Structure 1
Amino acid sequence: MTMDVMAPAPPPAEPTGLTRLAPGDLDRLLLIRHFELALLDLFAQGRLNGTTHTCLGQEYIPVALYALLDDGDHIFSNHRGHGHYLARFGDPHGLLAEIMGREGAVCNGVGGSQHIYRDRYLSTGVQGQSLPVAAGVALHLKRAGAGHIAVVHMGDGTWGEGAVYEALNMARLWRLPLLVVVENNGIAQSTPTAAEMAGTVADRAAAFGVGYHRVESLDVVRIRGSLAGVVEDVRSGSRPHVVEFLTHRVGPHSKGDDSRSADVVERVRQNDWYRRYRSEHPEQFEEADAAQRRAVADIVREVGARPEARWEDR
């Protein structure tokens, strides 16, 4: 049984529209969008194994945030992490090769869609697992004294894991440089958040004395400006913070299991950053969008023609 009546409304429209983006930001957003669409297409063709969880509709979160990070910061991603990886490294060839099991794969093809390790970046499909690990890394970073932080992504459904609260408790007690990024898309696989989580993320952060910041905007420039001070507080050792993004996934939970009604999905699509930016900045959007479509199509052809990846015991 689905409970679409409990699904939250999309975030309110920006009062003055979406800010025109620098070409690099727009290209990164569009790269992630078309990469994710390509994965769904490859699954439909039977060219991928296992499953995948796309971040369609949520691409703006890492694009806005990661410009505030430096190379020494650690990122802990989750099952819906392709956008995080691409925003960090800009490496669609390596990621697609990993997912397809082809030569040049980031982890020799054994990590797949969800389990990637590279240069202070780690993703996992185990819900809640990353937060205590990130807290441990943040403790190391604090002792090293280099001013770096640990950033960990989680969804609204992960607040049902006890490890989340143990990690927040330690993070606040020890004033760890930990930034918890909650991508609250209003539904935990097929269960609306309101049906599975009592209280609010803000109240849970407050219970531990952890800083909290709420983001309802889809505007990359505004989000980045609003988070600059938060990131600096975490970096300076003031206290850990939780940043909650009220967002929506446009695509299914994984490659094809969307339990939401057509009406709910259409409301989400109407407020998708992709549709809104195309409407508000068509002259910039169309050329950039076409370029990224072509680039991703070329990547799919090139990576798909590679030999299978081989495990190397290092």
Structure 2
Amino acid sequence: MMWTDDDLRTLLVIRHFERRLLELFDEGELGGTTHTCLGQEYVAVAVAALLEPGDVVVSNHRGHGHYLARYDDPEGLLAEIMGRSGGLCGGVGGSQHLHRDGFLTSGVQGQTLPIAAGIALQHKRTDAGALAVVFMGDGTWGEGAVYEALNMAALWRLPLVVVVEHNGIAQSTPTAAHMAGSIAQRSAAFGIAHLLVTGHDLAQIRDRLRGGFERARREPAPLVVEFRTNRLGPHSKGDDARPAEAVAAARERDWGAAYAREHPEQFERLDRAARERIDAVVADVRGRPPATWGAR
């Protein structure tokens, strides 16, 4: 497995961005809460390469990596999360509620799939070939709105891709304790195609998914892509209720540790550059005045 410098650079920018968020929260620099995608960065980077300019991404509470994989904008994102001048949404969206052309997030679990289905319906009517791509976790498959949206997507044959980041734990509840059956079986109940991704080789993932994404555009028809992935960090902030051995096992499965062992020179070079870049972004944003916003 060998990644391009561009892919690895993006992965490491996301990783260092998320690490610094946890540090900033501990230092009292962030209000509210924040959810990081540590360990899951490769999902966003793999999918971003399959997107077209007209596609719309609908993300969730753990969406920083999805944004940074599509838009190389850590400055605007951090300013938004810190409530400083130059924030992506004027400092009022915070960590979980972001908007940019072609991208939006919501911290309300289950809400995003009906929104994405509506966007996909509009694409089908007015913008043939464009996709709505929605990211969600395995825990969200307990929400009724998910099944209402899947039903409509299947009936109306919408150009919708549902990317499930199945990290095995819903906040603090293991999947086995909250899900009967499987995501594949639940997708099949609606006649929706399902693809499973178990590794983190970016080239292999893209090769596996490219045909499914193209069919979703062309036919159109919904697709569920399930990534069996790995959450390194806490659910949010520092609230990790997993046993120490579960956290240790997650670290053993980390893509970053594996890649660093296989390609130490490339990893160390780009890791250092990403860390320095995010340090500079933090210093810049910390020095900005608070965001000001008024209703228009």
Shorter-chain TM-score category?
over 0.9
CA-CA distance at 1:238 after TM superposition: 4.0
Residues 93-242 of structure 1 aligned to structure 2 (within 5 Å): 93-242=75-224
Query: Percentage identity across aligned positions?
Result: 61
Instruction: Write out per-residue CA displacement over residues 102-130 of structure 1, whole angstroms, 9 at most, x where no aligned residue.
Output: 00000011000000010121100000001
1:80 and 1:183 map into 2 onto residues whose CA distance is 10
- Picking from 261, 268, 271, the partner of 1:286 is 268
Q: 3-state DSSP class of the match of 2:161?
A: strand
CA contact (8 A) 1:100 1:112 kept: yes
Corresponding residue number in structure 2 for 1:272: 254
- Picking from 9, 21, 38, the partner of 2:20 is 38
CA contact (8 A) 2:128 2:217 kept: no
1:246 equivalenced with 2:246 (yes/no): no
- Picking from 72, 90, 94, the partner of 2:54 is 72
Q: 3-state DSSP class of the match of 1:214?
A: strand
1:151 and 1:237 map into 2 onto residues whose CA distance is 16
1:26 equivalenced with 2:8 (yes/no): yes
1:213 and 1:53 map into 2 onto residues whose CA distance is 26
Instruction: Write out per-residue CA displacement over residues 124-145 of structure 1, whole angstroms, 9 at most, x where no aligned residue.
Output: 0000001011111101100114
Aligned residues: 296
2:294 and 2:17 map into 1 onto residues whose CA distance is 27
CA contact (8 A) 1:108 1:312 kept: no
CA-CA distance at 1:273 after TM superposition: 0.5
Amino acid at match of 2:32: G
TM-score, normalization by structure 1:
0.93
1:124 and 1:239 map into 2 onto residues whose CA distance is 24
Corresponding residue number in structure 1 for 2:244: 262
1:238 and 1:42 map into 2 onto residues whose CA distance is 43
Amino acid at match of 1:198: A
- Picking from 43, 47, 65, the partner of 1:83 is 65
Show structure 2 runs of 5+ residues with no match. Answer: none
1:59 and 1:153 map into 2 onto residues whose CA distance is 13
CA-CA distance at 1:224 after TM superposition: 1.0
CA contact (8 A) 1:183 1:244 kept: yes
Which of 169-178 and 304-313 deviates more? 304-313
CA-CA distance at 1:275 after TM superposition: 0.5
Amino acid at match of 2:240: D
CA contact (8 A) 1:179 1:231 kept: yes
Amino acid at match of 1:121: F
Amino acid at match of 1:187: I
CA contact (8 A) 1:76 1:122 kept: yes
Show structure 1 runs of 5+ residues with no match. Answer: 1-18
CA RMSD of aligned residues (A): 0.8
Provide runs of 4+ in structure 1 moved above 4 Å: none
Q: 3-state DSSP class of the match of 1:40?
A: helix
1:305 and 1:80 map into 2 onto residues whose CA distance is 26
CA-CA distance at 1:220 after TM superposition: 1.1
Q: 3-state DSSP class of the match of 2:96?
A: coil
CA-CA distance at 1:313 after TM superposition: 3.1
Instruction: Write out per-residue CA displacement over residues 154-177 of structure 1, whole angstroms, 9 at most, x where no aligned residue.
Output: 101101111101110110111100
TM-score, normalization by structure 2:
0.99
Distance 1:262 1:139, change over 3 A: same
1:83 and 1:204 map into 2 onto residues whose CA distance is 27
Corresponding residue number in structure 1 for 2:33: 51
Instruction: Write out per-residue CA displacement over residues 167-195 of structure 1, whole angstroms, 9 at most, x where no aligned residue.
Output: 10110111100000000000000100110
With a CA cutoff of 8 Å and minimum separation of 6, indicate the structure with the bigger relative contact order. 1
